[in-house]
Structure 1
Amino acid sequence: MRRLGGVLVAAVLCGTAAACTNAPPPPLVPKTEAPVITTTGPKVTEIVVGVDDVAGGYNPHSLAAQSPITTALSSLLLPSPFRPGNDGAPQLDRNLMVSAKVTKAEPFTVTYTIRKDASWSDSAPIAAEDFYYLWQRMRAEPGVVDPAGYRLINNISAREGGKVVEVAFGKPFPGWRSLFSNLLPAHLLKDAPGTWSNVLATGFPATAGPFQVRSLDEPRGEVVLERSDRYWEVPTTLDRVVIRRATHSAMAESLSKGDNQAVLLRADAADVNLLRGIKDLTTKPVPRNEVVQVLLRPVSEQLGDVNVRKAVVAALDREALISFGTQSGPSAQFRADSYVVPPSRTGYRKTITANTLDAAASEQLLTGAGYSKTGGGWQKAGKALKLRIVAPDKAEPYVSIANRIKAQLQERGIDSEVLTPTAEDLHSKQLVESNVDIAVVPRVDAGDSAAALASSYGCAGDAPDGATPNPRNPAGFCDPAVQADLEAALNGKVLLSDVLARVEPLIAAQAVSVPLFQVVDLLGVLPTVSGVDAGAPLAGVLSGAPEWRRLDR
């Protein structure tokens, strides 16, 4: 300021004195001085994971929202009474729960005691209303994952300020530990405008775990998770986890430069070779909790006749569909040769032993069903056989397989069209109706195979209180001949293995489902981090993120 004042005074004096020279004034900052930039605070410790996509929605209970990013985020951000252990068996999460156990045999009652300090990120307690909200939605909404267990519940009551939850069942349910995973913040959702389809459509209104969402930018393709200051247990080692969308070639480049420390991608043979070329990179398969299946829906007008369904199945080359869908990637080692249990799960047993293709049998069955072959395809009573094949829009490998099915059917003279509605519209509306003939959709494993069996192939019925009719299964299949077995497995009266031995041949004979393969991603990890692994079955790679560490910082 003194220097600046001196310059101004000199300028004024020169304006009135003839003796002033033309010499320039001294600079305000000497030219030899450079600006000094300082940083404060510790360096942020983060791990960046490359993925195929980060698009929503993020509701883990919705079939329409199933994806690796949904599994990843829900495992980190939503509370669960039980979480899968390394062997896949459910283990009590003591970060959330004090206890959870069967406390009464008649009626079958499970009592959950929640930690008093467990709360959502907005400070609301995790309590009984969260259990109640999820129960109400899971037993009534179409397109949810394995609702059969929730439909056995008769009532949920609470005490001690909602921290003790009593769940009363109408019938015993040995698989009760699979229920109430990924609880949702009922206090924010129960009275919110919109429908179930809007729940977690674009993000998480509240979270409850070691991480919280700092930003979720779908257009940019990036999710940033940071350590939650409201978490009541041991804080995470990392400050931040960044999940970033990229092409496979960009992921490889980022790994080579060290910009990414890990990647998780749906890989074909070329991608496997691409990652193999990266120095010191460790790779391993990570099975998703979804199996690609082809549903032939008995509720459709054209496939109501079992012989027509059998004819369509016989027209398909299942081996070729598996080969096309897996592209010699990790999924090729996880063929789904069972109608219920995924290949990666304990209890998986191969029950499908032959290819489905039998062109002669296909023609014979269609002829026996009253169809005749003309130059333009198959007709019955003057009406052409043209099947509607649906797959969720932009979801791979489902859309590509649907188009390949169309091509295979065309080779046998069976006309068809492929439609790709949004995943939400497909699961919540179109598969509730009867105008879809064939659906290429995931069969999702929520942890209990008996519930999966009843949810996928059981008959629809009334809710326990008679208030809300249960939506039917995605195939619209109901066979009283197998219903008793399904219920016996669900209630623990008969071993699931014994029920599957009887039921799977009946499902095959009804030509309702053609399982193909389990979707398996490829994980690549650099040695600059530790703890980044495949994770427990069903939990996903990011389930272990609270223990991840950077080794190069």
Structure 2
Amino acid sequence: MRTMRRLGGVLAAVVLCGTAACTNAPPPPLVPKSEAPVITTTGPKIKEIVVGVDDVAGGYNPHATATQSQITTALSSLLLPSVFRAGPDGAPELDRNLMVSAKVTKAEPFTVTYSIRKDASWSDSAPIAAEDFYYLWQRMRSEPGVVDPAGYRLINNISAREGGKVVEVAFGKPFPGWRSLFGNLLPAHLLKDAPGTWSNVLATNFPATAGPFAVRSLDEPRGEVILERSDRYWEVPTTLDRVVLRRATHTAMAESLSKGDNQAVLLRADAADVNLMKSIPNLDTKPVPRNEVAQVLLRPASQQLADLKTRKAVVAALDRDALIASGAQSGPSAQLRADSYVVPPSRTGYRAVIGGNTLDPAATEQLLTEAGYAKGPDGAWAKGGKALKLKIAAPDRIEPYVTVANQVKAQLASRGVQAEVVTPKADELFTVQLLQKDIDVVVGPRVDAGDSAAGLASQFGCTGEAPDGGTPVPVNAAGFCDPVLQAEIDSALNGKVLLADALTRIEPQLQAQAVAVPLFQIADLLGVLPAAVSGVGTGAPLAGVLSGAPEWRRLDK
């Protein structure tokens, strides 16, 4: 069509020259030769805030244990829609930018009805609707390595009406924690038939977003993410034009803050980094707890740790205080020692149940002897001529887990227990290898998704068949199941007893089972230049710093 238009223009010129005088003289110049082109610089300046971060590497799926990170939390809180969001006190609040209402509408079966705003849509104009709820439910109840699937596994059916804008979710049992579900919805219309597996979801980018910002560019090699005000957002637009997340070393972050190139930084800090940031004039710093608790998980599913006495012996060989020190490195995490098996230290309802250190060399000797092991001439424990050698896994290149895993190995070696550390890719570890029995110990995150009862059931509950008799439900990461304890877990999950009351009975039993050794809640350090920006804070509890970005203001532009 363009070619035809050009051809028509040429023919018209020929006709005109045939009927009027034509010359070979060039047309008059558009700009006199004596004048240079004028470049205007009077346009409005871009209002942006640049935040220095440790990394921007994917994936970005907030529902996968393997992809938990500060950047995943930051991006999902701003780019993905959620029915409820954490309020200032951490309690879930209905997001009225997305929802009209969400409430329990039937007691039997327990049913929750969600009404979505008719103008709420994805960045490609597809409506946010029931299929997004259905897709997330299907994936969360059947995929291995997801965060807190217990609540989703209680759902029996999802139905829709009014063009998918009214969603009815029917549960098999009551679930008081239903407000923790359907956070960070995913664009089902783009993902449900996409090639690949769950591990590919949000692996390198966001195929569609829904919120006040959209992704302008996500450049992993350069280490930069640019979020721009979304012109498809149906609510009040942000005052900022864009937010930039930029990877840098901690020294480079400090330099950028001093020059004013960065207005804020978010970094995983040790004691030296804390002192570095304190040296920057007029910089406000605050700890930002993540939704991750670092823990050592001893797997009853493994052949060598199926025996309770052996697990107890291993726990007694660990110097928990030293593990915390090696992982926290006197940074913000050091103030968040995790002495609970379920509730993170920064959350309401946290109560310390683990007293003192775990190290007890005499108990290790006694328990391993009772388990049938004997010390050889080299000081190593063995049974039937076979050495006790444990395989410790930590996700590749993800700290503090690799550092702590190597400390666990060294501590066990000092007590005569041989061990090796393996570092598979995070996705391989949490979705494939933990379904097998060759990994004995895992050093990794326990992730809090908002409802501690669901977290308890997901981490330590028995699993079985899917509610509809379909795909078998994956086991928990430890492969742990105690039928006696399960009754207590179910009572807490279904609201028959208060979680706090249930935990007073459950956590001592978890400690006696020697399945997990909690260490500390991971916390980043936020640095902000208050003369340059306002509104940049720690965000709602466990929601991440960027959860408040729609309210950020640039003051010096």
Q: Which residue of 2 aligns with 1:148?
A: 150
Alignment counterpart, residue 323 of structure 1, candidates 322, 325, 344: 325
Aligned to 2:517: 514
Counterpart residue number, 1:291: 293
**Offset of residue 418 of structure 1:** 0.2
TM-score relative to the length of structure 2: 0.93
Separation in structure 2 between the aligned mates of residue 537 and residue 506 of structure 1, nearest angstrom: 29
Aligned residue number for residue 391 of structure 1: 394
Match of 2:280 in 1: 278
Matched, 1:76 2:78: yes
Indicate yes or no: 2:546 matched with 1:542. Answer: yes
In the TM superposition, residue 305 of structure 1 has moved relative to its aligned partner by: 0.4
The residue type paired with residue 443 of structure 1 is R
Query: Structure 2 matches for 1:293-372, cutoff 5 A?
Result: 293-372=295-374
**Residue 247 of structure 1: aligned partner:** 249
Q: Deviations over 1:204-238 (max 9, x none)?
A: 00000000000000011000000000000000110
Give the equivalent residue in structure 2 for 1:62. 64
CA distance in 2, matches of 1:43, 1:539: 30
Question: Distance between the aligned counterparts of 1:432 and 1:63, measured in 2?
Answer: 14
Q: Which moved more, 1:163-172 or 1:460-469?
A: 460-469
Match of 2:94 among 85, 92, 95: 92
What is the one-letter code of the residue matched to 1:549? Answer: R
Partner of 2:123: 121
The letter of the residue matching 2:549 is A
**Structure 2 SS opposite 1:431:** helix
Matched, 1:475 2:478: yes
Shift of 1:375: 2.9
Match of 2:106 in 1: 104
Could you say which residue in structure 2 is the equivalent of 1:25? none
Q: 1:259 aligns with which of 258, 261, 271?
A: 261
How far the C-alpha of 1:41 sits from its partner, in A, is 3.1
| Deviation digits for residues 57-92 of structure 1 (CA, Å, limit 9, x no counterpart) | 000000000001000000000000100000000000
- Distance in 2 (CA, whole Å) between partners of 1:357 and 1:104 is 51
Give the corresponding residue for 2:55: 53
- Matched with 1:19 is none
Offset of residue 38 of structure 1 = 2.1
Instruction: Tell me by how many angstroms 1:455 deviates.
Output: 0.3
Partners of 1:422 and 1:40 lie apart in 2 by 50
Give a deviation string over 1:161-217, Cα, whole Å, max 9, x none.
Answer: 000000000000000000000000000000000000000000100000000000000
Query: What's the CA shift for 1:260?
Result: 0.2
For the residues of structure 1 that align with 2:86 and 2:315, how far apart are their CA atoms? 36
Letter in 2 for 1:336: A
Q: Which runs of 5+ in 1 are unaligned?
A: 7-27
Counterpart-to-counterpart distance in 2, 1:36 and 1:135: 58
Deviation of residue 267 (structure 1)? 0.5
* 1:204 corresponds to which of 182, 195, 206: 206
- Runs ≥4 in structure 1, deviation > 6 angstroms? none
The alignment partner of 2:102 has SS state of strand
Shift of 1:360: 1.1
Question: Which runs of 5 or more structure 2 residues have no equivalent in the other structure?
Answer: 1-24, 27-31
% identical equivalent positions: 79
Letter in 2 for 1:105: A
Q: How does 1:316-465 map to 2 (within 5 A)?
A: 316-376=318-378, 377-465=380-468
For residue 529 of structure 2, the aligned residue among 504, 526, 531 is 526
| RMSD, aligned α-carbons | 1.2
Q: Which of residues 227, 230, 242 is equivalent to 2:229? A: 227
Q: Distance in 1 between matches of 2:469 and 2:68?
A: 30
Cross-structure match for 1:16: none
Partner of 1:10: none
Give the AA of the match of 1:167.
V
Q: Which amino acid aligns with 1:253?
A: E
Residue 39 of structure 1, CA deviation = 3.0
1:324 positional shift = 1.1
* 1:34, distance to aligned residue in structure 2 (A): 6.3
Aligned length: 526
SS at match of 1:264: strand
| Length-normalised TM-score, structure 1 | 0.94
1:538 to partner: Cα distance: 1.8
